[in-house]
Chain A
Amino acid sequence: MSDLNVMTPEESAATKAAVMNQVPGPEIQGQSPLHHADLESLAQKGPKTGGVHLRELKLLGHLTLRCNAENAEQLAAVERVLGVALPLQPLTSAENGAYSIRWMSPDEWLILVPGMETFDIETKFRDEMPGHYSLVNSSGGSTVLELSGANVLEVLKKSTPVDLHPKAFPVGKVVSTLFAKSGAVIRRSGEQRYELVIRRSFADYIWLWLQDASREYGLVIEA
């Protein structure tokens, strides 16, 4: 535990809830669930061209927000903290720079922020949000894989039962679904780019799966 985890009395009174900075101090190295795969080395040594590109968006802050979509005060508070409104339409997302919000269910959103900003944003939420809500820092429980390239759709089609046709899955759409018999939150972040939020404990399995599923198209690791 570093000193970052200790709040002053003023800080803890203002937040009205137990908030802990989960980012360790400089004496501890943060490791993503795919640390052992050493994607940096693979990116340097591996092929530079191929149909599928894989990059881990590691050590981001993952905040699960549950609140009332009909409470205008809560919606306004979210906008004050993140500078962007909660996406209220099912299966949509919103972003403001490095912040992105994924619709997860009618009263639940997944907010991704840069890892080092997580504690600040969490604290701001505690100051701003009125009423009954829940905000949980689930950063340690998952990681994000970004898949892109000319054959990304083929790899996804092997892995998930959702309809990925561009008409049914426009840029910005989010689905929670099955992915290779595990689960993933899939968001289309560009014409040929998708982000997968996956569970920490399944990260290695999905990494192995993706290597296999993309072998015929050529897999390029980016770091």
Chain B
Amino acid sequence: MLHIYCPHCAEYREEEEFHCAGQAHIARPLDPEACSDQEWGEYLFFRKNPRGLHHELWVHAAGCRKFFNMTRDTQTYEIKEVYKIGEQPSVVAE
């Protein structure tokens, strides 16, 4: 069970209050019409699956219902940091 700090509620809550919404920082192509099928397909469907540091999007589903980002180690499950949408991670893989 993860103990997750919600940056909006400003306190730790149990994992069951949250949902992970997948990889963070996925930018929608500015001009979808100009995308090739491959570019659009990669935007829609292809995600990283790293062993180690991963930046994820989470939502405090049962709490404030706001989204935020989390940097997590997928191998140790250690949460390195949480940060709000629009902010950049300070912990990144080398």
Contacts and interface: CB of A to CB of B under 8 A. Distances in A.
A161 B8 CA distance: 18
A176 B65 CA distance: 9
Interface in B24-75: 62-66
A120 B36 CA distance: 56
Interface string A74-105: 00000000000000001100000000000011
Interface residues of B, number: 13
Contacts of A105: 8, 64-66
Contacts, number: 37
Taking chain A's interface residues, is the majority helix, strand, or loop, or is none over half, making it mixed? strand
B62 A177 contact: yes
Contacts of B64: 90, 104-106, 108, 176
Taking chain B's interface residues, is the majority helix, strand, or loop, or is none over half, making it mixed? loop
Nearest to A168: B11
B10 interface: yes
A8 B11 CA distance: 47
A162 B11 CA distance: 10
A175 interface: yes
A106 B16 CA distance: 21
A178 interface: yes
Contacts of B63: 175-177
Given A106-B64, A176-B62, A91 B10 contact: yes
A177 B16 CA distance: 9
Contact of B13 (A104, A177, A183): A177
A200 to B, nearest CB: 17
B87 interface: no
Contacts of B17: 161, 177-178
Given A161-B16, A161-B17, A177-B17, A106 B62 contact: no
A10 B18 CA distance: 46
Contacts of B66: 105-106
Residue from B11, B13, B17, B63 whose CB has the most chain A CB atoms within 10 Å: B63
Contacts of B10: 90-91
Contacts of B9: 90-91, 175
Nearest to B66: A105
Contacts of B94: none
5 contacts: A90-B11, A105-B66, A161-B14, A175-B9, A178-B17
Given A175-B63, A176-B63, A177-B62, 7 more contacts: A91-B10, A105-B8, A105-B66, A106-B8, A161-B17, A177-B13, A177-B17
